[in-house]
Amino acid sequence: MQIELKQSTAMKRQLTYLLLALTAGIIVTGCSKYGSGPGVATPVDQLPDGTFSGTLTQVHINTHTGATDTIRATTVLQLTQATHRYNVGGDTSKIQANCYGTYIADGVNISFVDSTLSFNSVPNINLKKKHLFGTYQYQYIGMKTLEIYTQSADTLQILYILNKI
């Protein structure tokens, strides 16, 4: 009985050390990204700027069946950091609408305001093609790959994986 108690105490101690190490790793990883944390600005030269080409993936989850419908399209996104303007093109025959407008990026979030939408339309609701509008999360990896994505528990998920050209 005493051996089992010693093993149990040793296992609890090892588990505690493991949890502490994992927590420290998460904190270090989270704080090492540019622009993370309050008051830390992402340098302008590290914000996405230029022309990017890649894939837009839209995933819709059916709430009744749990099945997923996935559609992909080739997309070209031009971002001009100096004027905060954007333009979307590429294969607009499937899901992405040609659109343009203004944007702002802060190192974590990127927000788009589509100038092609009228004041009477509600963005992306009952539209056949999606307009790049609203706030998304993004990662700019190695100043080369731009990933823009929705982060929600909604039934519609959108992911852009684009490479600088």
CA distances from 126 to 49, 96, 110, 123 (A): 31, 14, 23, 8
Residue at 37 is within a domain: no
pLDDT at residue number 122 = 59
Q: Are 135 and 109 in contact (CB under 8 A)?
A: yes
Residue 115, Ramachandran bin (φ over 0: left; ψ between -120 and 50: alpha; else beta): alpha
pTM above 0.85, yes or no: no
Residue at 138 is within a domain: yes
Q: Are 75 and 53 in contact (CB under 8 A)?
A: yes
Domain CATH number, residue 101: 2.40.128.280
Q: Kindly state whether residues 91 and 142 are assigned to the same domain.
A: yes
Residue at 62 is within a domain: yes
Q: Kindly state whether residues 134 and 54 are assigned to the same domain.
A: yes
pLDDT at residue number 165 = 94
- The whole-angstrom distance between residue 70's C-alpha and the CA centroid of its chain comes to 17
Q: Work out how many domains the chain is built from and give that number.
A: 2
Please give the residue range of the domain that contains residue 15.
Answer: 1-32
pLDDT at residue number 156 = 83
Burial of 81 (0-12, 13-18, 19+ CB in 10 A): middle
Using alpha carbons, select from 91, 133, 87 the residue that is nearest to residue 110: 133
Residue at 39 is within a domain: no
The sign of the CA dihedral 121, 123, 129, 132 is positive
Residue at 152 is within a domain: yes
Q: Kindly state whether residues 19 and 54 are assigned to the same domain.
A: no
Q: What does the block give as tokens for 89?
A: 């093109």
pLDDT at residue number 149 = 94
Distance from C-alpha of 1 to C-alpha of 93, rounded to nearest angstrom: 71
Q: Kindly state whether residues 113 and 157 are assigned to the same domain.
A: yes
pLDDT at residue number 23 = 42
Q: Kindly state whether residues 61 and 94 are assigned to the same domain.
A: yes
Q: Kindly state whether residues 11 and 91 are assigned to the same domain.
A: no
Q: What does the block give as tokens for 14?
A: 């090892």
Q: Kindly state whether residues 121 and 159 are assigned to the same domain.
A: yes
Q: Kindly state whether residues 6 and 67 are assigned to the same domain.
A: no
pLDDT at residue number 112 = 95
pLDDT means per 10 residues, the chain with 165 residues, are 50 46 41 43 75 93 88 95 95 87 94 84 64 92 93 81 96
